[in-house]
Amino acid sequence: MTGALLFVAAFLACCVEAVEATTVVLAVGVTRSWRSSLRGVAGGIVVLAVIVAALGPAISQVPLGPLRLVVGTLLLVFGLGWLRKAILRASGHKSLHDEASLYEKHLAEARRAGGGGGRAVMGPDAYAFTLSFKAVVLEGLEVAFIVVTFGANAHQVPLAALAALAAILVVVAVAVAVRAPLARVPENTIKFAVGVLLSSFGTFWAAEGAGAHWPGGDGSLLVLIPVILALALGLTRLLRSVERPEPAATGAASGAPVSAGAPVAGTPGPAVSGLLGAGRRLAVSFGLFWWDFIVGDDWSIAAAVLLGVGAVAGLSDSGTVAWWALPLLWALALGGSLARAVGLHRRSRRARPLAA
């Protein structure tokens, strides 16, 4: 049963990433150059294959206990980030991820780029190659993360890789058939389901790695998944009853810079834009990518997960039943994060009568 759940979770998560990468490749191929776009895809696949080949065997050599602790914690933080966004989208407090509009956006950008002219380019096209390469590598890194962490933690890397391959083949087959944005794929619904599954697996593995013993062993996942799903659906229903806040003012009225191109105080000038500066910017961008990918929009949830793992470890060392501490702490943190996101704490203060 655990293997089946693992396959479903990996398949759905990889479907989401494959849809996003395919949307970009389609937009670039239609408007620019299919040959250059497909070369970018091939180059990205080669880079990803090298990364997976290097990481897979290395992670599989780590002892199971520490591996479940580290990977479970990462998956839980990652899954809760997805779940938080999915709840906000489902409740109407965050715009839905629209593949059709994303497709049109990349379509327009490709046509505006030099050399495109609104039609396919017959010769080599650096823009088409680069954009397709970046899309495949960035989304593929997320797929590789899912495959390596899921597979290594459950000692079923081939099963997770098979799920990822099946997801990619399904998405690509649909793309080839329709040659249009995959707008009919219920991506937000899939993200909601994936968030529940990742949070369930992450909670189970992180608590077990910290020393907790789940009642019923692996069978506790059959209880944990519906409980987390019920919690997510309950929070969604609760937030739907909350009036959405007015959009924040932009521009000069909100104190934001009027011009995006205006110089910022303290930033280095052209004189220091050499190799060292480029390397620093690349390192910062790489770090921010992984921070945003794993931690997401609210670091407090990640902090609560770490606190929960520490609490489970401490209680387990003293011989106390400890599995409950981790889900309790992250559930409270998730509720608080959602409340802050929709402005509930500000509204409650405004509604409180002033003291005489």
Per-residue pLDDT tens over the stretch 30-44 = 767 778 888 888 988
Q: Is residue 354 part of a domain?
A: no
Count the Cβ atoms, other than its own, within 10 Å of residue 238: 16
Q: Which of 344, 350, 291 is nearest to 88 (CA)?
A: 344
Number of domains in the chain: 1
The share of the chain scoring above pLDDT 70, in percent, equals 69
CB atoms within 10 A of CB 235: 21
pLDDT one-digit tens code per residue, 45-84: 888 888 777 776 666 666 767 877 887 888 899 889 989 9
Is residue 99 included in any domain, yes or no?
Answer: yes
The answer to whether residues 77 and 295 touch, using CB atoms and an 8 Å cutoff, is: yes
Query: What is the pLDDT, as a whole number, of residue 111?
Result: 58
Q: What is the pLDDT of residues 133-177, one digit of tens each?
A: 878 887 888 788 777 777 776 677 788 888 988 988 888 888 777
pLDDT tens, position by position, 214-248: 998 888 988 999 999 999 999 999 999 887 655 54
Establish if 272 belongs to a structural domain.
no
pTM: 0.66
Do the domain assignments include residue 149?
A: yes
**Domain limits for position 297:** 2-242+285-343
Q: How far is CA 44 from CA 6, 105, 134, in A?
A: 26, 22, 7
Tokens of 10: 């990996």
28, part of any domain? yes
Q: How far is residue 350's CA from residue 343's CA, in Å, rounded to a whole number?
A: 11
- Domain assignment present for residue 332? The answer is yes
Identify the band that residue 261 occupies on the pLDDT scale cut at 50, 70 and 90.
very low
Cα–Cα distance measured from residue 55 to residue 149, given in angstroms and rounded to the nearest whole number:
10
In a domain, 46, yes or no: yes
- Cα dihedral 65/71/72/78 (nearest 10): 170
Q: Return all residues near 89 (Cβ < 8 A) that are at least 6 apart.
A: 95, 96, 97, 188, 191
Segment 94-109, tens digit of pLDDT: 876 555 565 566 556 6
Residue 335 lies in a domain: yes
